[in-house]
Amino acid sequence: MPTDRFDLRAVEQAIAGTEFAGHLMHFHSVASTNDLALEATKAGARHGVWIADAQTTGRGRGSHAWYSAAGTPLEPAGLYMTALIAPPVAMQNALSLSLTTAIAVQSAIVSVAGFRRRNQIDIRWPNDLLLNARKCGGILIETASNPATPTQPATLRYAVIGIGINVNHTSFPPEIDAGATSLRRELPDPSQPLRREPLAAAILLALDRAIRRMTTDNLQPATCNSRDFSQFSSWISGKRVRVEERDNDPGGYTGITAGLDRSGFLLVNGDDGQLHTVLSGGLREP
């Protein structure tokens, strides 16, 4: 059931004029905010924002779960949010949506918490947010497309954008504690909990700007070469990585990142002498 624990009115006021205004919902605990959005698409919805204090089956890419603890009423732990969008863009142009969203979330964290872009709050291509080299956030995007026609390319039908940010966590389960952190943990003074509403509003404002830019850019051929993404991520170029081709796959390969192709996919100069284009899977330090 929706609750008033989260100050929706404050967020609504902050995001007035965006496509998200008037479409916010808040819940105490749900299985998954992405699942709520996907259910809404079956009824024809193409806009909406679902925010929860906790998720019982929050998920990341592949088979990974997302730790979605509730915290306490005075110190809610995380921001678990899904935005449903449907900009009129070609699927080719929508391929970079994960990185576009990651940059929007990074910008929001910088503006609200004051961390330095890339040096502190970094993006591990394409959808992990790292704070002082430990994971503080992740993005899961699920899309559907309209089929191509003889005269038109396939277009985006909708995108469900799941965003999870560790805000006030002071501890994590032992199995993830070494690699996880929260915004509060990394502040100079972590004694006071952070409000989630300013962060939620900042993310939605940045995402709205990104979507508008994407819609405008849809008039041009899809390309990522005109923007310097290295200012946002230390993982884009010159980073030695292991590419896990599929989640939990013991295989994969190692190499040095070599920028993005025109569609926003990562290039890796593999140790096998091949130039790989990373279409799926995740990056890790070897």
Of the residues 165, 186, 217, the one at which a domain ends:
217
- CATH number for the domain harbouring residue 61: 3.30.930.10
Say what the pLDDT of residue 3 is.
42
| pLDDT computed for residue 60 by the predictor | 63
195 with 253, same domain: the answer is no
* Tens-binned pLDDT, residue by residue, of the chain (286 aa): 334 478 999 999 999 999 999 999 999 999 999 999 999 999 999 999 999 999 988 776 655 666 777 888 878 899 999 999 999 999 988 888 988 999 999 999 999 999 999 999 999 988 899 999 999 999 999 999 999 999 989 999 999 999 999 999 998 989 888 999 999 999 999 998 999 999 999 999 999 999 998 888 665 544 454 467 889 999 999 999 999 866 555 568 999 999 988 777 899 999 999 999 988 778 888 8
On whether both 170 and 33 belong to a single domain, the answer is yes
Q: Are residues 181 and 257 in the same domain?
A: no
Supply 120's token pair. 């502190």
Looking at the fold, whether 198 and 262 belong to one and the same domain comes out as no
The whole-number pLDDT of residue 224 equals 52
- Within 10 angstroms of residue 47's Cβ, the number of other Cβ atoms is 15
Q: Radius of gyration (Cα) for the chain, nearest Å? A: 18
For the chain, what is the total number of helices (H) and then of strands (E)? 7, 12
| Stated pTM of the model | 0.91
Pair 34, 137 in one domain = yes
Residue 265 has a pLDDT of: 85
Q: What pLDDT, on the 0 to 100 scale, is given for residue 11?
A: 97
Tokens of 276: 């790989």
pLDDT of residue 4: 46
Same domain, 269 and 184: no
Bridge partners of 158, per DSSP, are: 144
Characterize the bridge pairing of strands 48-55 and 24-30: parallel
Q: Does 275 lie in the same domain as 185? A: no
Domain contains 226: no
**171 shares its domain with 266:** no
The Cα–Cα gap between 255 and 247 comes to 18
**Residue 151: inside a domain, yes or no?**
yes
Q: What share of the chain is helix, strand, coil (3-state, %, to 5)?
A: 25, 30, 45
Q: What is the pLDDT of residue 23?
A: 96
3-state secondary structure of 155: strand
83 lies in some domain = yes
Q: Is residue 230 part of a domain?
A: no
User: In this structure, are 101 and 159 located in the same domain?
Assistant: yes
User: Quick check: is 223 in a domain?
Assistant: no
pLDDT of residue 250: 56
Q: For residue 134, what are the domain limits?
A: 8-217
227 belongs to a structural domain: no
Residue 224 lies in a domain: no
**Is residue 105 within 8 Å of residue 79, measured between CB atoms?**
no
**Which tokens belong to 21?**
């205004």
Give the domain CATH number at 252. Answer: 2.30.30.100
Do 73 and 106 lie in one domain? The reply is: yes
Show which of 217, 245, 267 is a domain's final residue: 217
Q: Please state the length of the chain.
A: 286
* 202 lies in the same domain as 65: yes
Output the six-digit token pair for 168. Answer: 């006030």
Asked if residue 174 has a cis previous peptide bond (ω within 30° of 0), the answer is: no
d(CA 6, CA 95): 32
| Residue 51: CB atoms within 10 Å | 23
The answer to whether residues 119 and 130 touch, using CB atoms and an 8 Å cutoff, is no
Instruction: Looking at the structure, tell me whether residues 109 and 179 fall in a common domain.
Output: yes
Task: Report residue 237: phi and psi, to 5°.
Answer: -145, 140
Quote the number of domains for the chain: 2
Q: 266 CB contacts (<8 Å, ≥6 apart)? A: 125, 126, 236, 257, 259, 260, 277, 278, 283
